[in-house]
Amino acid sequence: MNTFANKVAIVTGAGQGIGKAIAQAFSHHEVHVIIAEKDEEAGLETQKWITDKGGKATYISCDVAQESSIQHMIQEVANQQERIDFLINNAGLSRFKPMEELSVEEFDTILSTNLRSVFVCSKYASTYLKQSGSGVIVNIASTRALMSEPDSEAYAASKGGIVAITHALANSLAPYVRVNAISPGWIEVRDWKKASEREEVTHRQVDKEQHLVGRVGTPEDIGRAAVFLCSGESTFISGQNLVIDGGMTVKMIYEH
C-alpha cells in the first residue's frame, strides 16, 4: 500500500476506541493524520502516540454535533495542509434506554452526532476530496444497522442512516470520490480509552464462541480495513457496507 505518502486523513473521534486505532493505522503509512476530537485529553494522547513513533499527526478540537465546529475544523486542515485525501467519519455516541425514558432531545443528540455529522463533514470536505484525485470517505456504521437489542432505537436509527447515506454519497460524489461504510460488530474498546479511563479487559469463553473466528474484535481490525478502503488496492469498491464482526451476525445461536 504505497499510495499514502504525504496524504492527509481526517479521522473524527480519533482520541479513543476505533477512531484511535484508525488514526494509528494510517500513521504507519506516512499519512498525516488529523485527529478531529472533542475530548482534548484523548486527542492529544493520540497525537503524542503517533508523533512519538515518528508519524505525523495534528489534533484539532471538533464537536461533530455542531456544524460551525466541523466547518472550522475542515478550514483549518485546508489552510494548514492544503489538501484532504481521506475522511473517516467515525465519531459517535450511544445511549441505551427504554424508549419511554429516552427524551426527544437525547434522540436528536445521537442523530446529530452519529448521522448528521457524516453529511456535514462530507459536505465541507467534498471540494478538497475531489481535488485530491484519489479522495475517499469511510463511514463507521455498525452491525446494529442490521440487527438490534431492546432499547437501542436512537443508536440503531443513526447507524442505519449511515449505511444509507453511504450509497447516496457514493453516487453524488462519483467518479471523483469513493465512499464506503464499515459496520463493526462487537469491538472491545475499553482498553483503547484515554489513559485516565482505560480498563483491563477479559472475555468469557462464551463471548468468544459467539464469533466464528473464536474471539471478540479489536479496534485494530477496523483500522486495517479503513486503510485498505482508502488504498489503491480498493479502487473498484464504492457504495459498499463492509461488515467486520468475526462472523457473529451469520452465526445462529439457540438457547437451551
Is 101's pLDDT higher than 60?
A: yes
Q: Where are the domains of the chain?
A: 8-250
Given pLDDT bands bounded at 50, 70 and 90, which one contains residue 253?
confident
Question: 8-250: which CATH topology?
Answer: Rossmann fold (3.40.50)
Which of 59, 124, 128, 155 is an active site residue?
155
Asked whether the beta carbons of 158 and 186 are under 8 A apart, the reply is: no
Pick left, alpha or beta for residue 214 (phi over 0 → left; psi -120 to 50 → alpha; otherwise beta): left
Is 157's pLDDT higher than 70?
A: yes
Interval 26-42 mean pLDDT: 97
Q: Residues 105-120: pLDDT tens digits? A: 999 999 999 999 999 9
Q: To the nearest whole percent, how much of the chain has pLDDT over 90?
A: 93
Interval 194-222 mean pLDDT: 94
Residue burial 240-253, b: 16+ Cβ < 10 Å; e: rest: bbbbbbbebeeeee
As a whole number, the mean pLDDT across the chain is 96
**Residue 108 grid coordinates:** 436528536
Interval 60-66 mean pLDDT: 98
Of 180 and 253, more confident: 180
The Cα 248–Cα 256 span in angstroms is 19
Q: Tell me, what's the pLDDT at 256?
A: 54
In the block, cell 453511504 appears at 166
Asked whether the beta carbons of 57 and 33 are under 8 A apart, the reply is: yes
Pick left, alpha or beta for residue 198 (phi over 0 → left; psi -120 to 50 → alpha; otherwise beta): beta
Asked whether the beta carbons of 229 and 182 are under 8 A apart, the reply is: yes
- Does residue 254 have an active-site annotation? no
